[in-house]
Amino acid sequence: MSQSLLHNVVFSVVDVETTGLSANRDRVTEVAVVQVRNGQIVHTYTTLINPECDIPPFVQQMTGITQSMVQGAPKFSQIRADIDRLLQGTVLVAHNARFDQGFLTAEFGRCKCALPEIAIVDTVALARRTLHGMVNYRLETLCQHLGLKSGGHRALGDATATAQLFLVLLGAGAEEKIAASLGKAIV
């Protein structure tokens, strides 16, 4: 990564696993944050979360996260401050960011708090602008195309894969696009 663009910016790459697709109705079962600074992964955080509801069987099969795994896990309200602290002053990065941001916003709202107001980078949109001619822009497809290990529908694996994808996209010319969209001056 160029020293003149995005120098010292901390990117918090986030992935959530959930009980379904609706942020209003469904709940988070796992969250991971992988922090990237100056082209390196500098910190990781992950935890299972007790969704306080049943996990549908098809979701358990897809993610491998079972009801018994989350039974003794903290509730989102118990880890909200950790997520808040990790996101403060960083740029949130996610693959299909609207999904992850939507669930985080809903969970923060259930805690009577607001998700920190931070800039967001969506690696799907970034990949569409950087990698042309792909069959689709799913994380697994992009990882396979670029020779990266995909995450297998677990939060830390997917967040790490997204962080690696993000770093590849930065090296493929996306750094200037991100810096411009974040309003960062070239130093």
Do 108 and 80 contact (CB within 8 A), yes or no?
A: yes
What DSSP state is assigned to residue 50? B
What DSSP state is assigned to residue 75? B
Q: Which helix (H) or strand (E) holds 169?
A: helix 155-169
Q: Which of 100, 117, 129 is nearest to 30 (CA)?
A: 100
Do 30 and 60 contact (CB within 8 A), yes or no?
A: no
* CB-side neighbour CA atoms (13 Å) of 122: 13
d(CA 53, CA 149): 31
Q: Is 153 a catalytic residue?
A: yes
Query: Could you say which of 43, 132, 145, 153 is catalytic?
Result: 153
Task: Give catalytic residue positions.
Answer: 153
